[in-house]
Structures are given as C-alpha cells and as structure tokens.
Amino acid sequence: MPDPITREPMSDVAEVIAILADPATSYWLRDAIVSACQRDPFDAERDALALAGLLTRRLDAIVTRHFGSPRQA
C-alpha cells in the first residue's frame, strides 16, 4: 500500500504493521498474517495462493448457484 504523502511504497514490515494496527482488520486476517510471518516465506506464499484460489472457486460456485452465471473479475 503506497504512502499517500510520499507516493513511495511502504516497506513490507511497515505494511504488515499498518494492517495489524488497523481496527477494521479481521481477527482471522490478523491471525493469518502473524502465522504466515512465522513460517518460511515461500511456503506461506504457496499456501496463501492455494487458499485464495480455493476461496475464489467457492465464491464463484455460490454466485453461479444463486444468480446463474459466474461473477465477472
């Protein structure tokens, strides 16, 4: 997430801190971030991408079931 004042990207650590400090961040996401930061970054990324794909397919199936066609990306 870019810093709106300097338009330079935040460091990865600053971005993690900002997300964890945001009161709108869900407890589930906070727990996932903390857990991922304690793991090998390659393994954590691979698992996160697999989860994202699974959740996308699940959502598409639900939308199709209820509205008759998959959502547009």
Cα–Cα distance, 3 to 36 (Å, whole number): 24
pTM score: 0.71
What are the domain boundaries of the chain?
1-38, 40-73
- CA-nearest of 20, 21, 54, 60 to 36 is 20
Q: Is the pLDDT of residue 4 over 60?
A: no
How many CB atoms neighbour CB 63 within 10 A? Answer: 14
Q: Give per-residue pLDDT as tens, 31-73.
A: 999 999 999 999 999 999 999 999 999 999 999 999 987 666 6
Phi and psi at residue 9, to the nearest 5°? -65, 145
Read off the tokens for 14.
């600053």
